[in-house]
Amino acid sequence: MAPPPPPPELMEDALGEILLRLPSDDPAHLLRASLVCKQWRRLLTDPAFLRRYRAFHRTPPLLGFLRNTDDYIARFVPTASFLPRTPDHHSCRVLDCRHGRVLLYVHGRDYIVWDPITGDEHHVPDADIPQSNFNAAVMCAAGAGCDHRDCHGGPFLVALVGPDEPELVTYASLYSSESGELCEPSELEFEYYVEMLPPVLAGGAMYFQCQFGLAILSYDLYVDGSLFGFERPERDNPHDFDGTALIPAGDCGLTFAGLMPYSSLHLWSLQMTGDLVEWTSHRVIELGTLLPSADIRSYGQSLIGVAPGPDDSDIIFVGTDVGVFAIGLKSRWIRKVSEGRSSDYAIFPYTSFFIPGHAIERPSAATTTQ
Amino acid sequence: MAAPESGDGNNGAARMVTLISSDNTRFEVEAAAASLSQTLQLTILDGGGGGGDGIPLPNVDSATLSKVLEYCIKHAPAAANGGAPNATAVDRAELERFDNEFVNIDQSVLYSLIMAAHNLEIEGLQSLVAKKVADMIKGKSPMEIRRTLGFPDPTPEEQAEMNAHMLEYGWAYE
């Protein structure tokens, strides 16, 4: 067979159109293409091209998830080819993961904000870590002014919540990487203690789950720093859920998801009028037909995580005896993302576009330290 | 905008324009089809390309132009409907089938199409050929991509750079 004809010197914008269409679900595509020749590499490491690429593909792909092992390791489990330089952080616990950043609690010491893509680590000075019943969340500091496709290395915020003396008082405070300081704490008398379950950012508030997910604490981030506590739906339901999760809904709404026996996922949406909280059951999704075999259905499974998917859809993660499954709720697809028996512990899905190390833009406001 | 007298209004017959390839072949085509090209659209709106004049395209040979026009003629009705929001599923499926078939071509023709689509600024065609090449290279190693696209063998310097890169990003090559 005759060899293919030599390519013409492709115009930069024609080449750009081609490389723009390399799939974003696996960072290896861009990385391999960047090695083809100097022209390709120049283009693929050009920040302007990479901005276009991310805008074209819109939703950052799922690269993996973080989980806490029984021996105090915070572990990155890949679901695409990407693997961070240090997938394991010893003596650490993952608390949260958002906007390409992972928040780790270093046992008895402090918090680290880790960027698996760049490898950057930023210690959060916190004079006062409670003994137990606390949690924390991380987010890009730019808030609604950022689409979070490009904000690696930019300033971030960490919201901290925990118990305070006297008992039944919960405090919250916000750390800013720009100022390097914690803000004045807010307080609330609340009978439920904070649980280390994945926090959720919806609208301008961070929502924390309390006491096995029985109640929820909201922390206003932008207006007045107020704290507000309320109970989950079906508080008195005798059936306990096989895992619960909070899901951001629309602009500032919140959905409570609970997995019931026999793989039916129940969703409630939150209505808040002043201090009046109302949950409305709005959807039940039968996952039984999606899960691949009768064995899996009978051994039980647990709702262990949620991630934003393409086109404003949600992806939920279900742990089973044979592995972790990702399920697209809108178009009802299922994919096994991890082998082996899964624990019931929550996982923290990691979604981000990949950026080759030398192409990362660092906003001047960044205060990242190594 | 008022239609030029020489063109429309001829018992409802579609207005035609003439395009002239680099090797001097003349192609007569409906103005609506040729207007898929952003480059040609203004000239055509100004009444150019009609009658004996013709629009010369010095960068596009006749083989490529005939292929380009095949695409434009097929896509012109949908484009006239504003990107085909009203098109039926059958219409869309038919266009998709046509597109798949259309890019199932020799690589040298594909390259000529890429250049022509960019010169003439035909958005849909640019996107179609780009997607085809992207599909050809996805999942391949840098060396395989070079071979697929007909690049010459890498220089020792390029080879060394590839090796170093593979060491650093081993996960991308497993």
Q: pLDDT per residue over A167-223, tens digit each?
A: 788 999 999 999 998 888 888 988 899 999 999 999 889 999 998 888 999 999 988
**∠ CA(B32), CA(B103), CA(B72), 5° rounding?**
5
Q: Which one, of B161, B152, B107, lies nearest residue B133 by Cα?
A: B107
Q: Which of residues 106-135 of B touch A (CB under 8 A)?
A: 107-108, 111, 114-115, 117-118, 126-127, 130-131, 133-134
Give me the pLDDT at residue B154, please.
86
- Chain A CB contacts of B139 under 8 Å are 29
Helix or strand (DSSP H, E) at A179: none
Query: Does the distance separating the beta carbons of B126 and A17 come in below 8 Å?
Result: yes
A45 shares its domain with A182: no
Query: Does the distance separating the beta carbons of B111 and A8 come in below 8 Å?
Result: yes
Q: How many CA atoms lie within 13 A of A322 on its CB side?
A: 11
Query: Does the distance separating the beta carbons of A37 and B138 come in below 8 Å?
Result: no
A208 contacts A135 by C-beta, under 8 angstroms? yes
Q: Is A221 domain-assigned?
A: yes
Q: For residue A56, what are its two tokens?
A: 């074209």
Percent of chain A with pLDDT over 90: 39
A96 shares its domain with A38: no
Q: How many domains, chain A?
A: 2
Interface test with B, best of A36, A40, A44, A81 (most B CBs within 10 A): A36
A205 contacts A251 by C-beta, under 8 angstroms? no
* Distance from the A301 Cα atom to the nearest Cα atom in chain B, whole angstroms: 31
Nearest to B115 among A4, A14, A28 (CB): A14
List Cα–Cα distances, B116 to A187, B29, B69, B135, in angstroms. Answer: 66, 17, 11, 20
Helix, strand and coil in chain B, % to nearest 5: 55, 10, 35
- Chain A CB contacts of B152 under 8 Å are 6
**What DSSP state is assigned to residue A353?**
-
Quick one: closest CA in B to A5, which residue?
Answer: B150
A250 shares its domain with A337: yes
A44 shares its domain with A71: no
Mind listing the pLDDT tens digit of every residue in chain A (370 residues)? 445 555 556 677 889 999 999 999 888 899 889 888 888 888 998 889 999 999 999 889 999 999 999 889 999 999 988 888 899 999 999 999 999 999 999 988 889 999 998 889 999 876 577 778 899 999 999 877 788 887 888 899 999 999 876 678 899 999 999 999 888 888 898 889 999 999 999 988 999 999 888 899 999 998 889 999 999 987 666 567 888 899 998 767 899 999 887 778 999 999 888 788 999 998 898 887 787 776 665 567 889 999 988 877 899 999 888 889 999 988 888 888 888 777 778 899 999 998 765 444 444 333 333 3
Q: Is the ipTM of this complex over 0.90?
A: no
- Chain A CB contacts of B123 under 8 Å are none
- Chain A CB contacts of B127 under 8 Å are 17, 21
A77 shares its domain with A18: no
A46 shares its domain with A64: no
A154 shares its domain with A229: yes
Query: Does the distance separating the beta carbons of A37 and B171 come in below 8 Å?
Result: no
A102 shares its domain with A170: yes
A113 shares its domain with A260: yes
Domains of chain B: 16-138 (3.30.710.10), 140-174 (no CATH)
pTM: 0.84
Q: Is A368 domain-assigned?
A: no
A271 shares its domain with A135: yes
- Chain A CB contacts of B120 under 8 Å are none
For A161-167, the CB contacts below 8 A with 24+ separation are A161/A134, A161/A135, A161/A136, A161/A194, A161/A208, A161/A217, A161/A219, A162/A129, A162/A130, A162/A133, A162/A134, A162/A135, A162/A194, A163/A130, A163/A132, A163/A133, A163/A134, A163/A193, A163/A194
Give me the pLDDT at residue A126, please.
63
Give me the pLDDT at residue A78, please.
92
Q: Which one, of A360, A307, A358, A354, lies nearest residue A335 by Cα?
A: A307
User: In the predicted model, what is the mean pLDDT of residues B72-88?
Assistant: 75
CATH of the domain at A262: 2.120.10
A221 contacts A214 by C-beta, under 8 angstroms? no
pLDDT digits (tens, 9 = 90+) for A76-88: 999 988 888 899 9
The Cα A240–Cα A243 span in angstroms is: 8
Domain that holds residue A34: 12-52
A260 shares its domain with A163: yes
Q: Is A91 domain-assigned?
A: yes
- Chain A CB contacts of B174 under 8 Å are 81
Q: Is A7 domain-assigned?
A: no
A186 shares its domain with A280: yes
Query: Does the distance separating the beta carbons of B151 and A37 come in below 8 Å?
Result: yes
Nearest to A35 among B114, B117, B162 (CB): B162
